[in-house]
Structure 1
Amino acid sequence: MGDNRKKLRVLQVNKLYYPVTGGIERVVQQIAEGLKDKVDMRVLVCQRKGRTVTEKINSVWVKRSSSLGVIASLPISFSFFWHLRKISKNCDIIQFHMPFPLGDLACLLSGYKGKVVVWWHSDIVRQKKMMKLYRPVMEAFLKRADVIIVATKGHIEGSAYLKPYRKKCVVIPFGVEKAIFEDSTKWLERENKVKENLEINKEVRFLFVGRLVYYKGCKILLEAFRNVKNAKLIMVGNGPMENELKQIVKKYGLEKKVEFLGNINEKELQEQYKACDALVLPSIVRSEAFGLVQIEAMAYGKPVINTNLPSGVPYVSRHMETGLTVKPGNISELEKAMNWLVEHEEERLAMGKRARERVEQEYTVEKMLERVERIY
C-alpha cells in the first residue's frame, strides 16, 4: 500500500540566506535543499537592507523580511515578527538557527504551538552588553525548544549557557559541501594518495583559510611561522587586519615565504586544498565554534593544526590522529607543531589519510541530513 501520510511542514529560520555564504547560511541551505523532497520545506530570513521579497531558490520557497539595516550583526526587521506569526500557523516544526535574538523573541510572541528545533551554532561572545538584555529571552526560548542540535560535544561543554539544557541536546556534525566532497574524492582516486619518492627536504605548504580578523589568530600564526624552516604559508581571505599582517610579513622579511591570495572562488579554493600539505586554524577565541574549513581540508586528505578552544574546534580534527592541537595564542606551541609536520613527512601523510577517513565516517552532508530528518 502507498504511504498516504501528509508531508511534515517545516520552516527554517535564520538571519540571512544564500547568496550570503557564511557558515550558518551554508548549513541552512544544505538542510533546506537536501530535505525539500522529504518534507514541505520553507525558509524565513531577513534582508540585510530593503523590502520584503519572496522567491524560489533551487526549488526552495524563501521569504526575506524587510529590514532597515544591520546593527551589531542583527537585522532590524519589524515585518519579521508578522511573517513568522503568519507562516507558523501552518507549520509542524520550526527550526531556528542560533544565535539570532530576533528569531527567539518572534517565536515567543507568535503564539506558535508546534515543535521547535534549535540548531545552536555558537554562544554570543563579543556583544556582552546586548547579552545582558537578551539572556532572559534566550533562556525562555531554550526552555521552549523541544530539541537543541549542536555540531560537537564541545559546543555543550564549552558553552556558558547550554549545560542546563544538555538533556535536550543532540549532536549532529556538519557535512562537508557536496561539491568539495565529490571533487576531493575524484582527486584522491587520481592521486591514489600514495606518494612515492618522498622528497625529504621539499618545501611544505601550510594553508590558512578565513577572514583576516582578530579571533582567527593570524598574528600568532605569522609570529610562529617566522621560525619554521623549509615551508611556505598561503593566506586565503581578506579582512580588516590585512594591512597589519602584510606589515608583519615585511618586518620579518617573509615576503618569499608568505603569500596573500585575498578572496578566491570555490574552484580556486579547491586547488589550494590540493596543493597544500596541511591546514592551520590558529583561532584564539571560542567565537570559532567549529571551523568548517577543517573538514574541507580533511576531505582532501590533509592534516590540520587547530587550537584547544572550549568549543567544537578540537573535536573536529583530533590531536595526533588527524593533525595537531595547540594552546590558543601560544606562539611557541604553534611553531613546534608546524616544524613537527615539516620534519615528519610519513606521519603527516598518515594523519592526512586518517583525516579523510574521519570525514567519510562523520562529516558528509548525507549523514547530517539523515540525522536531521530523524529528529523531524
Structure 2
Amino acid sequence: MAYIRKRGRNSYLIAVYLGRDSKGKRRWHYETFYGTEKQAEHRKAELEVKYRRPSGPRTAAMTMGEYLERWLDNTEGTVAESTLETYALHVRHLTAAVGEMPLYGLTGFDLKTRLKDYFREYVKTRPLSPATIKGIYGTFRTALRQAKADGVIADDLAASLKAPRVPHKERRVLTPEELVRLLEAAKGYKHYLVIRLLALTGMRLGEVLGLRWQDVDLERGVLTVRQSVNVRRRKPNDRPKTEASVRQLALDQETVTLLAAHRREQEKNRVVALQGLVFSATDGRPLREMAVRRTFWRVLKRARLAHIRVHDLRHTAGSILLDTGVPLATVAAFLG
C-alpha cells in the first residue's frame, strides 16, 4: 500500500506502508520527490516493489524466535524423533542468535552477520564443533525455506546463508589384521557380541540395539534390519533410518553360534525384553549406548589400537569389502 500527496510545485510526498513492527505498531517509509506527477507515480511504483511484502500485519509482528518455535511444533510428526531432537537443539542456538529479530525487513546479510557474531563469541567460552555449526545452518535454511513456502517471508533468505566450511577430517579405519586383534581383545567383555556385529556387518549402533529375535534366522544364518533404536531415549523406532536401510545380512557361523548361546542364556534367565530385543538392559529396554561405547574404548586400549569411534567400525566394514574387490554399489546396499 502506498500513496502520493502533492506538497508544492513539482514536489510530492510518497508514503509506502511497511507493515507492523515487533510491537504491532504501523511503520511507513516517507520520501519527498521532486519532479512531475507522472515521475512521482513511477517512483512510487519502484518503492512499492522495493518494500513489497506479502505477509499481513500479524506476520509482520512475529519475531524470528516465535516463528522458529512454531516451525518446530509444526515439524513434529513429519520427521524422525531423533531428527526433531536435533532440530530443537539447533533452534535453541538460533533463538539466542537471531530470535528477537522481527521478520519484517530481514535480509540475508543481517542474518549472516548475526550468526557469525554469535558463533564467534560462543566458541570463545564453550566448545562447538564446525560440523555442529554447519548442522545449525542447515536447520535454519530448512526453516527459512518453509517460511518462504508459507508466505511468512517474501524473500528466499535461505539462499544467502552459506555454512562455514568444515575442515575435512580423515577418519581412520581398521585393517583386517587390526580388526582380528579388536575382536580377540573383545572376547570376555559383556558387550562382545554387540561389538562383533558392529564390526562384521557394518550395522549402525541403533540398528544393532534395535535388533529383534524375530528378525534373526539362526537356521539360515541371516538377519534382517527392519528397525533401529533412538539411542538417546532408548526407544525403538518403528522404521530404520532410510528405506535403503531395510536389508538382509549374512552371518558367519561363529556369530550364529554366539547368538544361539545368547538366546539360550536369555531364556534361562527369563529375560523379558521390550519387543523381543536381542540386546536389552535389566529393565527390558534397549542397552544404553554409553555402556557399549565404554566397553568399546576399553577393548581398543586392551588391543593397543588407536582411538576410533564406534561408527568407524561401519566404515571399516565397508573399506575392507572395497579392498577385496566388492563393487561400490554392493557395498552401499550392504551398509544400507
The TM-score, its normalising length taken from structure 2, stands at: 0.29
Larger radius of gyration: 2
More strand by share: 1
More helix by share: 2
